[in-house]
Amino acid sequence: MSAFALALFAAACGVSSNETDQNRNPQQVTLRVTTSGSGLVRGAGSDCRSSCSAQYVKGSQVHLVAVPDADSSFSGWSGACSGTAACDLTLDADRDLAATFAGSPPPPPGQRRLTVIVQGHGRVTSRPAGLDCDSSTCSADFADGISISLDAAPASGFNFDGWGAGCSGPGGCTLTLRSDRTVYANFTAQQPPPPPPPSQAHLVASVTGPGTVTGGGLNCGESTATCDVTLAGGSTVTLTASPAGRTRFMGWGGACSGTTTTCELTVNADTKVTAEFQSEVMALAPSDGTNIYPVMALNSTRLFWPRWTNGSAIWSMPKKGGEAVRVVAASVTAMAADDAYLYWTDQHSLYSVPVGGGEVAQLASAWPIEKLALDEVGALYWTVGPGIGTNGSVHRMQNRADSVIASDQYPAGAVAVDADYVYFATSTASGAVRRVPRKGGTVESLLDCAATCSVYGVRVDAENVYWREAYSGRVFARDKKTGAVRTLDGGNGSDGSTVYADLQVNAGVVYWNRIGGLGPVYGIFRVNGDGTGFGAVDSSNDAAWYGLAVDDDAVYYFHASSIIRRLK
């Protein structure tokens, strides 16, 4: 049966066609098959013995094969089919047909019967001669014990897919007749060849950012406008992406892919490619007197920060630059965001709002609520510092259900989360960095520096726990496996500032701001988690470097009240 033939198997053997006809769609037709004798008809849904019916979309094509049982032979078709070969029908109306099978006498003494059932369109012949079966079912008797080879030749437009039953696979078929045997030969229609390419085709380029795509007649970019060319069908072209000064090529889209600056393609039809360029350094929010540092947050597409415009509010904009929009009126000391909600605190309460703005929910009240962290399933973590009648607590909230996962810990604000634990800073001499399982449990001390340090920031990745000392500004890492502690900021030493010190980690690289100390170099710095690769991301002799956020593509920070985005 062709690939589009059977639309709906309506009824099995023994079901009255009248029952089916009463409820069928006008665009459906019914094929009714009856058999007499020992055999079946294959191709009308399930194999059919006795009486069966099936419904099809009008105009469907079916390929029917009569398959006699071992002790029977096919006598012929009647009704919509005739003859003894396989029957192909176009069902443009209801059709009835019958297949008649007759008992076959056993082969003469000393001979064996070989039956070949051809499915599809093709011819099977035997060596030695005696069997020649063309798109039907046929049998021949041969001497007992003889070795017979069968050859399959597909009809035009068909392929031979292989043997079944007595032989298998797409190769030759040789068998020794020690008993009566049956072999299937399977032929399937060839897929039509792809259409030839058009005589002409359009190649269209779309460029985002400061750069140009050339090749194949294209010259498409910010200052050029040849972005749609007509080529001969089947043309092969090489496109080149050329970034402008202080710009980086980020990658192709459409018919091209990857981040290499060249793309080779064959234009067999109208084809579109895209190319994205980004500035190495971008001022997302220039210094206009409204930006409130040092707080910022990122989700997968947007940056959030507070501004003073007729009162304090949180604003957002695309991370790649674009229009800034006001999200919610708020005073902010810390915030975090995912792709659904923005969370923030003013130290007295914890709030949320949809990232595009909307109804504000008050999630918790306490004092002082410090830093916030989100995990990969959207659970929110925060600490409440010591206060009147309390020694502080560590909290986890999911689906707006607040649970205390650690209490009496004297949290000092900093909090981070990995796949298993929540890490937080404390303000006691018995452990400056501790951790607790994400849903609560035994609290462990990871760092005990007595009265010699105070931890301001905590971050974590798969290999290390990182922290920053408040009084010195120094950056440290503790190996999760060995517990070994190492200093990471050897390149610029003590900062000496506790105000606006920040720390971030992404892809095994640690980032921090330097805003104090002896100078003369201040700015944003980085180092690999193993202590190698120290260097400045951006620096100058002024100390106005506040706030810090990092994603897989760029580093975001305040400098002199502007928000800067710098590609890694």
**What residue ranges define each of the domains in the chain, with the CATH number in brackets?**
8-103 (2.60.40), 111-189 (2.60.40.1140), 200-279 (2.60.40), 366-451 (2.40.10), 453-568 (2.120.10.30)
Encoded tokens for 278 = 């980004």
In angstroms, the CA 541 to CA 527 distance is 20
The DSSP 8-state label assigned to residue 8 in this structure reads: E
Spatial separation of the C-alpha atoms in residues 505 and 510, rounded to whole Å: 5
Residues of the chain with pLDDT under 50: 1-21
And the tokens for 329? 């009126």
- pLDDT at residue number 73: 81
Q: How far apart are CA 515 and CA 548, in angstroms?
A: 12
Cα gap 164→185, rounded to integer Å? 6
Q: Tell me phi and psi for residue 20, to 5 degrees.
A: -70, -45
Q: How far apart are CA 7 and CA 10, in angstroms?
A: 9
- pLDDT reported for residue 104: 78
d(CA 507, CA 189): 53
How far are the Cα atoms of 223, 248, 249, 566 from residue 245, in angstroms, in the given order?
A: 14, 8, 11, 14
Q: What pLDDT, on a 0 to 100 scale, did the predictor assign at position 496?
A: 59
Q: Are 334 and 295 in contact (CB under 8 A)?
A: yes
* pLDDT in the model for residue 315: 98
Q: Which two tokens stand for residue 495?
A: 């900062």
Sheet of 325-329: strand order equals 297-298, 302-308, 312-318, 325-329
Do you know the residue count of the chain?
568
Provide the CB-side half-sphere exposure for 521 (13 A, CA). Answer: 10
Burial zone of 52 (CB within 10 Å; 0-12 exposed, 13-18 middle, 19+ buried): buried
For residue 125, what are the CA distances in angstroms to 71, 130, 154, 419, 421? 22, 8, 12, 67, 73
Residues 254 and 293: beta-carbon distance below 8 Å: no
Q: Say what the pLDDT of residue 34 is.
A: 93
Instruction: Spell 363-392 as b/e; 16+ CB within 10 A means b.
Output: bbebebbbbbbbbeeebbbbbbbbeeeeeb
Q: How far is CA 58 from CA 6, 11, 31, 32, in A?
A: 10, 17, 11, 14
- Distance (Å, whole) CA 133 – CA 137: 7
pLDDT by residue (tens digit) across 134-145? 867 788 899 999
In one-letter notation, the amino acid at residue 566 is R
**Residue 219 buriedness (CB in 10 A; 0-12 / 13-18 / 19+):** middle
Residue located via tokens 């449990």: 441
343 token code pair: 């969370």
Q: Phi and psi dihedrals of 113, rounded to 5?
A: -105, 130
Q: Name the residue with tokens 């980032």.
A: 511
By three-state DSSP, how is residue 120 classified? coil
Cα separation, 513 vs 504, whole angstroms: 9
- Tokens representing residue 98 in the block: 């019958």
What is the distance between the alpha carbons of residues 250 and 260, in angstroms, rounded to a whole number?
A: 9
Largest CA distance in the chain: 112
Give bridge partners of residue 404 from the DSSP assignment.
Answer: 395
Q: What is the predicted pLDDT for the residue at 3?
A: 35
pLDDT, residue 258, reads: 96
Q: Which pairs count as long-range contacts for 431-434, CB under 8 Å and 24+ apart, including other chains?
A: 432/467, 433/458, 433/465, 433/467, 433/478, 434/406, 434/409
CA distance 442 to 437: 7
Note if the pTM is more than 0.85. Answer: no
